Homo-oligomer: A and B are copies of this chain.
C-alpha cells in the first residue's frame, strides 16, 4: 500500500483506539496489529507514539478549519458570524463524538508538543472570534478582545463536552445556549468598550 494511503489508515485506526481506551492505555503493538502492519511501520511514518497522536489532532484541526471557514463565509453581522462559527464547531464535534474527547483531553496530558497542536485548534477559534470583534469594533482594547475570545472559546469547548453527555442536545440547541449567555455581553461591549481605567 502506498505511503499516503497507509498513513491515513493509521491515523484513522489510531484515532479510534485512542478514543476507545485512552492514549496511555493504548500500545503501539495494538495499533499496528489492528492496522495489519508491524510496529516499526508506525515509527517509520510518525516517529513516536506522541507523533502519531499529534498526527491525529492535526488532521482533525485541518478539517475543522476548513468546515468553519466555509460556514462563516457569507456572514453579514457579527452576531451571524459568531452563530455560524459556533454551529460549525458543534456540528464538527457531533460528527466526531468518539475522537473528540480524546483529542482534546488526552492530548493535553500526554505531550507538550501535542499540547501545542491542541492550542493551535484553540488559536484558530480565538482568531475567528478576535476577527469578529476587531472588524466590527476596530478601537476595542486588544487585551479585552483577547479575553472575550478566550471566554467564548472556553464556554464553547465546555458545552461541547457537555453536549456529548446529553444525547437530547444537538448542535443547534447548544449554539442557542451559548449565544443566549454570551451574546448580550459581547454585543454590549462592541458598542461600548471597557474603559482603559479598569485595566490597572
Contact = CB atoms under 8 A, between A and B. Distances in A.
Interface in A158-173: 158-159, 161-162, 166, 168-169, 173
A8 interface: no
A138 interface: no
B146 A150 contact: no
A51 to B, nearest CB: 14
Contact of A146 (B22, B105, B162, B188): B162
A4 interface: no
A177 B157 contact: no
A192 B188 CA distance: 19
Contacts of A106: 108-109
Nearest to A160: B154
Contacts of A41: none
A127 to B, nearest CB: 14
Contacts of A194: 176, 180
Which bracket fits the contact residues of A? 35 or more
A107 interface: yes
A151 B155 contact: yes
Interface string A18-30: 0000111000000
A183 interface: yes
A199 B174 CA distance: 10
A58 interface: no
Given A22-B111, A106-B108, A184-B185, 9 more contacts: A22-B109, A105-B108, A147-B162, A148-B177, A153-B158, A154-B154, A154-B155, A155-B155, A173-B200
Nearest 4 pairs of A and B residues by beta carbon: A109-B109, A154-B158, A184-B184, A181-B185
